[in-house]
Amino acid sequence: MTPRSVYRIPLTPVNGSRFQPTGFPDLGPATFSKPTAEGWVEALHVESPQSMANRLELTTWDTATGDQPEVLAGLPYVRVVDPTGGFLTSSRLEAHRLASAYIMDGTISGVAGRTVLPGLLGIAKDQAIDHRQLARAICRLDPLSLVHGVFFAQKEWPWQPKIARAVTCFIDAEDVRDAVSGGVKTDSVNPRVEGESQGTAKGYGMVPHQRLEFTARSITAYISVDHEQIRAYGLGSAGEELLEALVAYELASLFRGGPMRLRTACDLQVVEGSEGALGDIPTPDAATRRVVAAIAGAGDLLGPVTEVTWSRATGKG
């Protein structure tokens, strides 16, 4: 297997030509200048690596049932519940995955998560981290944290281990132009806000607004899969196949499973006739068969679903 697989997949809006990029605090749309063979052009960061990691991981979760899809049965993850057993979140949904504050501040069998996890991960004072043991421990808890990365930034621990992303994906647009529009929130009952009328801050009155979208000559999803990092975990052939199968499942689900609705006004799909750009990304059916077989073959690399109890009242389980 090659050390790394790289994909550049052309995308286009499902309807029309306008799209809305991600926005960043105190920045708004992330525009930048990009060098091309024809000179510098205005470009736009449509979706960040952090966001795309979350979107890829979301393909392993069924929001309607609040659990992973049946085809992934047998795959471990951490499930966070309230004191009554009601579902709150999981390591698949949390931005920090296994390092989520809900897991750290919750309890596992009555013991605080931040107290239990160092032992599970093999972290001890005055001992170097055994990275293979760390990877094996993470795999038993939730192997997706080996695919998309996790950083245990716990100052009270003797070490703060970090796993980099094995899959990096982002979406950029090239040669972009502003598409400015607007609208108005109407109030057919109380359009004026003078005098005794309630103000617009309360949701009354007529409120005009501006909307900034973009058009682009091209939109591209850039993907890099680091197979060498996956091999370096030392999980053996069954573990490597599990992680590679999960990567294939996520990519197939997101890029071959139909349009990607990133936001209300950002609904993208792969450009028709771009089969070559998809490369060896399998069909969703083939990816599903592969991941089911990989889970069955992973054996003792996989632990059970771990339940963490978190209480809103104290921030502790």
Amino acid residing at 163: I
pLDDT at 212: 87
pLDDT at 189: 76
Pick the closest to residue 297 from 260, 249, 250, 242 (CA basis): 242
pLDDT at 208: 76
Averaged in consecutive runs of 10 residues, what is the pLDDT profile of the chain (317 residues)?
Answer: 93 96 85 92 96 96 96 97 96 96 94 94 90 96 98 92 97 95 79 63 75 94 98 97 98 96 94 95 98 96 97 69
Question: CA 49, 51, 52, 56 torsion: positive or negative?
Answer: positive
Cβ burial 18-49 (10 Å sphere, 16+ → b, else e):
bbbbbeeeeeebebeebeeeeeeebbbbbbbb
pLDDT at 178: 92
Rounded CA-CA distance 298/221 in Å is 31
Q: Report if pTM > 0.85.
A: yes
Task: Give the burial class of 125: count Cβ atoms within 10 A of its Cβ; 0-12 exposed, 13-18 middle, 19 or more buried.
Answer: exposed
